[in-house]
Amino acid sequence: MLQGGLLGGRPYLLAGPAGSGKTTLALEFLCEGIRRGERSLLVTLEEPPNECRSNHHGFGPDLERVEVFDAIPDVMHYERVPFKDISMVREVLPFGRVPWLIRRTPELTGVEVTIAALEQILRTEVARCGYSRVVIDSLTALQYFCMKGIDEIDGARSFLRFLSDLKVTTFLTVESPADDIASAERMLARGEIRLFRWDRDRSTVRAIGIEKFRGSGHDIRLHPYRIGPTGLDIELALTISRRGTVRRRAEHTGLAGHDRARTGHGGGPSLSQ
Ligand SMILES: Nc1ncnc2c1ncn2[C@@H]1O[C@H](COP(=O)(O)OP(=O)(O)OP(=O)(O)O)[C@@H](O)[C@H]1O
Ligand SMILES: [Mg+2]
């Protein structure tokens, strides 16, 4: 779908409604980096690392080598606490060292995660470890929890500029139930992959589309996919309308670069799951 693959060193949006597969696709991108001998970092603001490891264990040893930084604010702690640099109390570690059952919370008091602290950690860790792929899961949570007192559009704009300066290929997941998301993120991101989800009587239909991709040609059609243990199985031989109706066989199925859709379901329009 991305003819020529992603252009390295740029920030991209991965938008979609709840449960559409954003985290799964983001992890697939990070695991692909591991297979290519690169270092990959997940900054999680929603799914605790132990749950993420357990929910996505189908990625196997590649996921174990993806490094994770738990930036989830301690939302159970109601009392406002003084700002503390989260790098002092939390560390980046590979999924392989994340305990399966218990969330690792080394600090005794609640920690306010600020955008400034997170940027500082990213700058330090990218310089120290040479990550070439980073995922922020999610930008929505980052705006909600970490940009208190900052206009969320200005905050997103400044964070995207920061990521561009880091020169790392970054995916920012965005939860977007409606058809559209805030225009500032959209304008500033170098590309946007969008996931769609339609819930039918007894099934769910999902589709993926490239809404925008600066600097390269791309497939503008939506293709249905299923979520499997090792990522998204994109059915490139089929296209799907914006209302979720499978319409016709696509003539072109070219893929390259980071995008590794796996076909092989034998086609057919029954893509619900
Ligand atoms: N191994 C799997 N096999 C089949 N379906 C799966 C598998 N893993 C996840 N799913 C399905 O995919 C859904 C979405 O997964 P994922 O967490 O990637 O979505 P998301 O868009 O990040 O969701 P959220 O908005 O909650 O963060 C899950 O709710 C589950 O129904
Ligand atoms: Mg998710």
How far, in Å, from the CA of 229 to the mean position of ligand 1? 10
Contact 48, 70 (CB under 8 A): yes
The SS3 assignment for 209 reads strand
| Of the candidates 168, 141, 157, 165, the residue with the CA atom closest to the CA atom of residue 30 | 168
Cα separation, 165 vs 146, whole angstroms: 20
Ligand with the closest atom to the CA of 273: 1
- In a domain, residue 106? The reply is yes
pTM, to two decimals: 0.84
Q: CB under 6 Å to ligand 1: residues?
A: 16, 18-24, 46, 58, 175, 227-229
Neighbours of 87 (CB within 10 A): 15
Residue 8 — pLDDT band, cuts 50, 70, 90? confident
- In a domain, residue 166? The reply is yes
CA of residue 208 relative to chain centroid, distance: 14
Which one is predicted more confidently, 261 or 40?
40
268: left (phi over 0), alpha (psi -120 to 50) or beta: left
Structure tokens at 110: 């609640």
By most ligand atoms within 8 Å of CB, the mutation choice from 13, 14, 22 for ligand 1 is: 22
The count of domains in the chain is: 1
Is pLDDT above 50 for 175?
Answer: yes
User: Where is 257: in which H helix or E strand?
Assistant: none
Angle, nearest 10°, between helix axes 115-129 and 139-146? Answer: 130
Residue 33 belongs to what domain range?
11-193
How far, in Å, from the CA of 20 to the mean position of ligand 1? 6
By most ligand atoms within 8 Å of CB, the mutation choice from 23, 24, 181 for ligand 1 is: 24
Atom of ligand 1 nearest to the CA of 138: 27
- In a domain, residue 199? The reply is no
- % of the chain beyond a pLDDT of 90: 44
Q: What is the pLDDT of residues 55-84, one digit of tens each?
A: 999 999 999 999 999 888 764 444 444 444
Summarize the confidence of residues 159-170 as an average pLDDT: 93
- In a domain, residue 122? The reply is yes
Lowest mean pLDDT among 25-29, 102-106, 233-237: 102-106
How far, in Å, from the CA of 19 to the mean position of ligand 1? 5
By most ligand atoms within 8 Å of CB, the mutation choice from 227, 233, 271 for ligand 1 is: 227
Is pLDDT above 60 for 106?
Answer: no
One-letter amino acid at 5 equals G
- In a domain, residue 226? The reply is no
Ligand with the closest atom to the CA of 199: 1
Is pLDDT above 70 for 17?
Answer: yes
- In a domain, residue 141? The reply is yes
- In a domain, residue 37? The reply is yes
How far, in Å, from the CA of 81 to the mean position of ligand 1? 34
Ligand with the closest atom to the CA of 233: 1
- In a domain, residue 151? The reply is yes
Indicate which CATH number applies to the domain containing 114. 3.40.50.300
**Residue whose entry in the numeric block shows the structure tokens 């949570």:** 141
